[in-house]
Amino acid sequence: MSSASTQRVLTGVTTTGILHLGNYVGAIRPAIAASREEGIESFFFLADYHALIKCDDPARIERSRMQIAATWLAAGLDPARVVFYRQSDIPEIPELTWLLTCVTSKGQMNRAHAYKGAVDANVAAGGDPDAGITMGLYSYPILMAADILMFNAHRVPVGKDQVQHIEMARDVAQRFNHLFGNGREFFVLPEANVEPEMELLPGLDGRKMSKSYDNSVPLFEGGEKALREAIARVVTDSKLPGEPKEPEGSTLIALFDPFATAEERAAFRAELRAGLGWGDAKQRLFEQVNRHIGPMRARYDTLMAHPEQLEEILQQGAQRARAIAAPFLATLREAVGLRRFQPLAAAAAAPVAKAKAALPVFKQYREADGQFYFKLSAADGRVLLQSQAFAGGRDTGEWVKRLKTEGATALAGAPVAKGEGVADSELADALAALVAAEAA
Ligand code: TRP
């Protein structure tokens, strides 16, 4: 199935709450369509370990993971094509999380948006900065990196808010490859695919559809009745039946379009311009959406009534996922030194003995602006330190020399900035290694 050109696409859904129409149009439908393309191997999973970070209500966790599993299958996910599993059925994922945790710099986690947002909110409220913040929230991006790296995904379709997490996964992957790879790249560096559609569908009030705004249209839960009631709440202007209405920009049209053909869209617009009443228009919208999702809802209800079928499908998915994860994790354990005991002499003679860690390097250069700069790069190419511009090359030389002989103490007052995501400790270690090399 997998060949050199096969692209692995992986995405997870945190299993808290239920899915709404916006999730369907923005995430589920495009993901299922993409999974049918040639040359793509898809991995979809229920991020139920992530759900535990946000929710300590067991009944809600149980309900939500079942509902979301049933939703994806009802919407057309083909478990024969897609590796479809629950994160919590793959014990290799938390194990990989630990291996990655041990090479992740704390400073980088301090900068994760979700954690920083929670700290900022605490500070703004005048409380303890870490009030109510669990280690789960803090380490969230490492668990997510393990989800992705476990299967060497090339592409990860996500919303904008998740892009930083993918960048963190790349960093951690790079670091692990560098530390333990001995020239071998264990992990593919994943890329975020930001789905523009994810923002497309407005909620009932015209703002982005979101459970937290209470403006969402449930996808299947509550049946036709809930769909009809939600659509009745779509905000419109106060034009009366018979008055011409401007369809463009209206929430009603935005909800209609993703479920309609080009002809249907044109016809609906024409009727609104000709004075169709908002009440009738809402009925039209209801029918259109329901025609589309009604058959799926029937499948959803059947699956929800047969949890054993869902269980069976997910167990099979877990088997397929573990067939990939288990041997890969064995390789990674071996790489970090968690090996079967053997005579140490033999182990030392083996080629796995680690190459001497490569030193970071200073580079001095001149930019097109005519100014002089220097930077310090780690052996894996990441920029640890970047200088400001200098008028002359002599200044850069002097600073580089000071940093190489005095190490981190020379940083105070140096016209430099740390590289993105670089921790103070990593920078200090890098400079200490250079000082030691200089002195040797
Ligand atoms: N954090 C993602 C979200 O809240 C869910 C998720 C967990 C995920 N692990 C992932 C998405 C791995 C993509 C890849 O939306």
* 202 touches ligand 1 (CB under 6 Å): no
The overall pTM is greater than 0.85: no
Whether the pLDDT of residue 1 is over 50: the answer is no
pLDDT at 266: 97
Residue 183, CB-side half-sphere exposure with 13 Å CA sphere: 6
Distance CA 237, CA 225 (A): 24
Whether the pLDDT of residue 282 is over 50: the answer is yes
In which band, very low, low, confident or very high, does the pLDDT at 437 lie, cut at 50, 70 and 90?
confident
Question: 296 versus 419: which is more confidently predicted?
Answer: 296
Whether the pLDDT of residue 57 is over 70: the answer is yes
Shared domain for 393 and 426, answered yes or no, is: yes
Residue 407 DSSP class: G
Q: Note the pLDDT tens digit of each residue in 390-399.
A: 998 899 999 9
Q: Note the pLDDT tens digit of each residue in 366-375.
A: 988 899 999 9
* 18 touches ligand 1 (CB under 6 Å): no
* 47 touches ligand 1 (CB under 6 Å): yes
* 14 touches ligand 1 (CB under 6 Å): yes
Question: 181 versus 95: which is more confidently predicted?
Answer: 95
In which band, very low, low, confident or very high, does the pLDDT at 429 lie, cut at 50, 70 and 90?
confident
Determine the average pLDDT of the residues in 291-300. Answer: 97
* 8 touches ligand 1 (CB under 6 Å): no
Shared domain for 82 and 103, answered yes or no, is: yes
Crossing angle for the helix pair 58-74 and 278-305, to the nearest 10 degrees: 110
Shared domain for 297 and 216, answered yes or no, is: yes
Nearest to 93 by CA among 128, 143, 168: 143
Contact, 31 vs 44, CB < 8 A? yes
* 209 touches ligand 1 (CB under 6 Å): no
Determine the average pLDDT of the residues in 411-434. Answer: 87
Contact, 67 vs 59, CB < 8 A? no
Type of residue found at 171: D
Of the three residues 339, 362, 395, the one that is the final residue of a domain is 339
Phi, psi of 173 (to 5 degrees): -60, -45
* 15 touches ligand 1 (CB under 6 Å): no
Shared domain for 333 and 356, answered yes or no, is: no
Shared domain for 333 and 361, answered yes or no, is: no
Shared domain for 160 and 205, answered yes or no, is: yes
Shared domain for 329 and 408, answered yes or no, is: no
* 147 touches ligand 1 (CB under 6 Å): yes
pLDDT at 63: 95
Distance CA 166, CA 163 (A): 5
Q: Which two tokens stand for residue 378?
A: 């780690």
* 22 touches ligand 1 (CB under 6 Å): no
Which residue's structure tokens are 């960048």?
167
* Number of separate helices (H) and strands (E) present in the chain: 17, 9
* 12 touches ligand 1 (CB under 6 Å): yes
Which residue's structure tokens are 């044109």?
266
CATH code of 260's domain: 3.40.50.620
Distance CA 166, CA 152 (A): 13
Kindly list the distances between the CA atom of residue 227 and the CA atoms of 22, 269, 279, in Å, as whole numbers in the listed order: 13, 22, 15
Which atom number of ligand 1 is nearest to the Cα of residue 87? 9
Contact, 425 vs 103, CB < 8 A? no
Q: Note the pLDDT tens digit of each residue in 313-330.
A: 999 999 999 999 999 999
**183 alpha carbon – ligand 1 mean position (Å):** 30
* 158 touches ligand 1 (CB under 6 Å): yes
Which residue's structure tokens are 């930083």?
164
Q: Note the pLDDT tens digit of each residue in 133-165.
A: 999 999 999 999 999 999 999 999 988 889 999
Shared domain for 188 and 333, answered yes or no, is: yes
Distance CA 304, CA 67 (A): 7
Task: Kindly write down the DSSP assignment for every residue of 309-371, as one continuous string.
Answer: HHHHHHHHHHHHHHHHHHHHHHHHHHHHT------HHHHHHSTTSPPPPPPPEEEEEE-TTS-
Which atom number of ligand 1 is nearest to the Cα of residue 159? 15
Type of residue found at 420: E
Of the three residues 339, 360, 394, the one that is the final residue of a domain is 339
Determine the average pLDDT of the residues in 41-65. Answer: 95
Among 53-67, 211-225, 273-287, which stretch is predicted with the lowest mean pLDDT? 211-225
Determine the average pLDDT of the residues in 71-91. Answer: 97
Kindly list the distances between the CA atom of residue 283 and the CA atoms of 199, 229, 254, 276, 287, in Å, as whole numbers in the listed order: 25, 11, 15, 11, 6
Q: Whose CA is nearest to atom 8 of ligand 1?
A: 12
Distance CA 138, CA 4 (A): 36
pLDDT at 348: 60
Determine the average pLDDT of the residues in 336-359. Answer: 71
CATH code of 426's domain: 3.30.160.160
In which band, very low, low, confident or very high, does the pLDDT at 356 lie, cut at 50, 70 and 90?
low
Contact, 133 vs 53, CB < 8 A? no
Q: Whose CA is nearest to atom 13 of ligand 1?
A: 11
Which residue's structure tokens are 């090339």?
154
Q: How many residues does the chain have?
A: 440
Of the three residues 314, 339, 364, the one that is the final residue of a domain is 339
Distance CA 304, CA 265 (A): 33
Q: Note the pLDDT tens digit of each residue in 339-349.
A: 999 888 665 65
**166 alpha carbon – ligand 1 mean position (Å):** 9
pLDDT at 4: 54
Q: Distance of alpha carbon 153 from its chain centroid, rounded?
A: 12
For 154-249, list the strands marked E by DSSP.
155-158, 191-194
pLDDT at 198: 52
Which atom number of ligand 1 is nearest to the Cα of residue 10? 14
Shared domain for 320 and 232, answered yes or no, is: yes
Q: Whose CA is nearest to atom 9 of ligand 1?
A: 144
CB burial of 298-331 (b: ≥16 within 10 Å; e: otherwise) equals ebbeebbeeeeebeebbeebbeebbebbeebbee
Shared domain for 145 and 5, answered yes or no, is: yes
Contact, 119 vs 133, CB < 8 A? yes
Determine the average pLDDT of the residues in 179-195. Answer: 91
Q: Note the pLDDT tens digit of each residue in 83-136.
A: 999 999 999 999 999 999 999 999 999 999 999 999 999 999 999 999 999 999
**295 alpha carbon – ligand 1 mean position (Å):** 28
Shared domain for 94 and 216, answered yes or no, is: yes
Which of 14, 45, 90 should be mutated for ligand 1, with most atoms under 8 A from CB? 14
Which of 8, 10, 11, 198 should be mutated for ligand 1, with most atoms under 8 A from CB? 11
**141 alpha carbon – ligand 1 mean position (Å):** 9
Whether the pLDDT of residue 355 is over 80: the answer is no
Computed over every residue of the chain, the mean pLDDT equals 91
pLDDT at 201: 84
Shared domain for 27 and 93, answered yes or no, is: yes
Which of 139, 160, 162, 194 should be mutated for ligand 1, with most atoms under 8 A from CB? 162
Distance CA 208, CA 199 (A): 7
**368 alpha carbon – ligand 1 mean position (Å):** 41
Kindly list the distances between the CA atom of residue 234 and the CA atoms of 19, 149, 368, in Å, as whole numbers in the listed order: 18, 42, 55
Structural domain span for residue 419 = 344-439
Q: Which two tokens stand for residue 72?
A: 């994806």
Number of domains in the chain: 2
Contact, 119 vs 113, CB < 8 A? no
Which residue's structure tokens are 């991020």?
47
Distance CA 344, CA 230 (A): 68
